[in-house]
């Protein structure tokens, strides 16, 4: 803030110069831009829904492993995998579906459950002795990992004994141990 005194009457005026006001306006604009980008509510909601999907797929993948071990090395049937898992107590309650909100985000299509809110898919292949449980992720943060190589899927593979993100242009199918590259 500058202080100046006009020579004629001896009055003192206090105030901001135009440059100081412009600098303050620019700083406020930059802060608003950063905060709005950082606090993008739609993206934050998508990230939280993705976290729920990742948690549920990990839980279901562990349940498929437990089912396999307790049922003479057989995976749940493709037709009613959710019912078989729940009836065997792995898990006791099948996870609720998580609705896709962001435009253009679609659920996986292969043996999808629950039917009311399609969220989780399952596939098993005897020839590679593997089953996978997976879900498509919808946040921009996850989609940016797969630019040009399809959609981000969080997949739990019984062959690898782990979950992770893979990029694919269509629903993935079971693979042999160690043959898939995970993003994370």
The tens digit of pLDDT for each residue in 97-127 reads 999 998 888 899 999 999 999 999 999 998 8
Q: Rounded to an integer, what distance in angstroms lies between the CA atom of residue 6 and that of residue 22?
A: 24
Give mean pLDDT, residues 43-68: 94
Three-state secondary structure call for residue 80: coil
The position carrying tokens 């253009």 is 104
> Contact at 8 Å (CB) between 160 and 169?
no
User: 9-13, 83-87, 122-126: which has the minimum mean pLDDT?
Assistant: 9-13
> Contact at 8 Å (CB) between 162 and 65?
no
pTM score: 0.79
Give Dmax over CA atoms of the chain in angstroms. 103
Domain definitions of the chain by residue range: 38-168
Q: Rounded to an integer, what distance in angstroms lies between the CA atom of residue 138 and that of residue 20?
A: 44
Q: Rounded to an integer, what distance in angstroms lies between the CA atom of residue 133 and that of residue 150?
A: 18
């Amino acid at each position: 803030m500058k202080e100046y005194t006009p020579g004629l009457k001896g009055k003192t005026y206090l105030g901001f110069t135009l440059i100081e006001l412009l600098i303050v306006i620019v700083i406020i604009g930059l802060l608003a831009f950063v905060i709005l980008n950082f606090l993008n509510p739609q993206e934050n909601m998508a990230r939280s829904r993705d976290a729920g999907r990742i948690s549920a797929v990990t839980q279901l993948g562990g349940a498929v492993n437990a089912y396999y071990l307790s049922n003479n090395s057989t995976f749940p049937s493709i037709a009613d995998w959710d019912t078989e898992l729940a009836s065997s107590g792995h898990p006791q309650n099948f996870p609720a579906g998580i609705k896709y909100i962001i435009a253009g985000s679609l659920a996986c299509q292969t043996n999808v459950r629950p039917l009311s809110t399609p969220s989780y898919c399952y596939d098993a292949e005897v020839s590679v002795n593997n089953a996978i449980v997976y879900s498509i992720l919808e946040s921009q943060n996850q989609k940016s990992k797969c630019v040009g190589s399809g959609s981000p899927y969080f997949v739990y593979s019984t062959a690898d004994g782990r979950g992770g993100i893979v990029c694919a242009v269509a629903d993935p199918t079971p693979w042999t141990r160690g043959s898939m590259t995970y993003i994370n």
